[in-house]
Amino acid sequence: MQTPSLQTLPPATPRALIADDQPDVLTALRLLLRNAGYQTEAVSSPAEVLEAIKQSNFDLVLMDLNYARDTTSGQEGLDLITNIQTLDSGLPIVVLTAWASVELAVEAMHRGGHDFVQKPWDNSRLLESVNTQIEVGRLKRQQRLIEAESRTETDKLHQELEESQEIQAALMPKAPPSIEGFDIAVAWRPARAVGGDYFDVMKFSERHTGLCIADVAGKGMPAALMVSNVQAVLKSLASDAIAPGDLCFKVNNIICDNTVSRRFITCFYALLDTQKRKVSYTNAGHCPPMLIRDGSCQRMNEGGPVLGVFPDHYYFQADVDLQSGDCLVLFTDGVTEARNASGREFGEDCLQELLTQSHQLRAADLRDRIMAEVNEFSEGEVYDDATLMVIKVD
């Protein structure tokens, strides 16, 4: 294979640590990166990766997930990502994969991976990813130095955060629209000044309303910037003329094209037909909403993977007929993953039990009770953005 030309590299010669237990793969990767102007160091085990990072500075780790002790599950590689993050949380990680598991790829991103490239790799795609992640990583480190050295810059950042908080709050609906036959209440609580949760209730007509809840991976300003992007895309595409599965397909492709760092979004979108009392939905990797009916709970799982990672992926959708007395609850993981002092999570089982006991309440009262229970459980500590939408059928 010919080595493609590389776009302009960062000013200093970048150093990449390559980890794979296959000697021929290591040789090929070292040759590719050296010809592109990189310094490289190659290792063949997780232990050698960690030792190399302790001994030297690197701009990026390019690593496989499977090693000699664990050649199929990827668990050894996932644990290595976690350990790398512990040593250097700012070190970019690009993961090489020889499988097409959506769940494993998403977990790698959750653990701290910044991008992934499938084997056999395309040289252009691999070099583009490596160069981008090194550039992004260096920019982040430079920004940290600037903030540490200048109190003025820190004060300015606080001011910008306050302004960003006001802007983000303005993007969220101040109150759900009035929908005949339905009672809707929402709680939105970012963990920081700005957050990565998004919700919307879009009344297209007297008959049709769009319901959306989404969660961007991460917290703070980066997640908030992504939220504004998601909100703009959804608002521009959503209508009563587009099915939820088709909407998520289009949104996903746009996000994939505009997300350099491969930051992903979980999303649940539904189209409510008040005349037929039916909801059509698709779930893009989000916490499955709970539909409480006569003391039982139905989870809404149908859909596809998270948004922003897998382009051109089809999203399935499902229809659910609603009945008088039904209670539909949409939530982000900040609700169920709220932790107490001992580290135990509130949990989906606890939320379901609370809903089956209290689903007769009005939407606003049920919302308040859930958030109060979560707040009491976590003793007021907020670890993650939390959003809750309660929909009662009259």
Residues 99 and 184 in one domain: no
Looking at the structure, do residues 276 and 352 belong to the same domain, yes or no?
yes
Indicate which CATH number applies to the domain containing 103: 3.40.50.2300
Asked whether residue 156 is assigned to any structural domain, the reply reads: no
The mean-pLDDT minimum among 69-73, 76-80, 206-210, 253-257 falls in 69-73
Check pLDDT > 60 for residue 11: no
CA distance 140 to 273: 46
Q: Is residue 178 part of a domain?
A: yes
Looking at residue 29, its pLDDT comes to 94
pLDDT of residue 99: 59
Q: How many domains does the chain have?
A: 2
155-191 pLDDT tens trace: 777 777 777 767 777 778 888 999 999 999 999 988 7
pLDDT at 151: 62
Q: Which of 299, 279, 327, 291 lies closest to 183 in space, CA to CA? A: 327
Q: Does 389 fall in a domain?
A: yes
Same-domain pairing of 285 and 329: yes
Among candidate residues 148, 172, 198, the one where a domain is terminated: 148
Q: Measured on CA atoms in the order 9, 10, 12, 14, is the torsion positive or negative?
A: negative
Is residue 113's pLDDT more than 90? Answer: no
Secondary structure letter of residue 283 according to DSSP: E
Contact of 158 with 355, CB cutoff 8 Å = no
pLDDT of residue 34: 93
**pLDDT above 90 for 70:** no
Backbone angles phi, psi at 156, to 5 degrees: -65, -40
pLDDT score, position 10 = 43
- 130 lies in the same domain as 208: no
**Checking DSSP bridges between strand 60-64 and strand 93-97, what pairing results, if any?**
parallel
Residues 235 and 361 in one domain: yes
Which CATH number characterizes residue 338's domain? 3.60.40.10
Residue 9 lies in a domain: no
Containing H/E element for 303? strand 303-304
CB 364 within 8 A of CB 175: no
Residue with tokens 């379901």: 352
CB atoms within 10 A of CB 323: 10
Question: How much of the chain, in percent, has pLDDT values that exceed 70?
Answer: 91
Whether residues 139 and 191 share a domain: the answer is no
If asked whether residues 77 and 173 sit together in one domain, one would say no
Minimum mean pLDDT range among 16-20, 101-105, 206-210, 320-324: 101-105
Considering only CA atoms, give the Rg of the chain. 23
What is the distance, to the nearest Å, from the Cα of residue 262 to the centroid of all Cα atoms in its chain? 9
In a domain, 6, yes or no: no
265 pLDDT higher than 90: yes
Shared-domain flag, residues 86 and 189: no
Residues 30 and 142 in one domain: yes
**Residue where a domain stops, chosen among 113, 148, 183:** 148
Six-digit token string for 224: 């908030």
Q: Cα 339 vs. chain centroid, distance in angstroms?
A: 20
pLDDT of residue 382: 78
Query: Looking at residues 332-340, what average pLDDT do you find?
Result: 93
State whether 239 and 356 are in the same domain: yes
In a domain, 7, yes or no: no
> What domain range is 215 assigned to?
164-393
DSSP structure class, residue 211: E
* Same domain, residue pair 360 and 326: yes
42 and 139 assigned to the same domain: yes
Does residue 377 or residue 103 have the better pLDDT?
A: 377
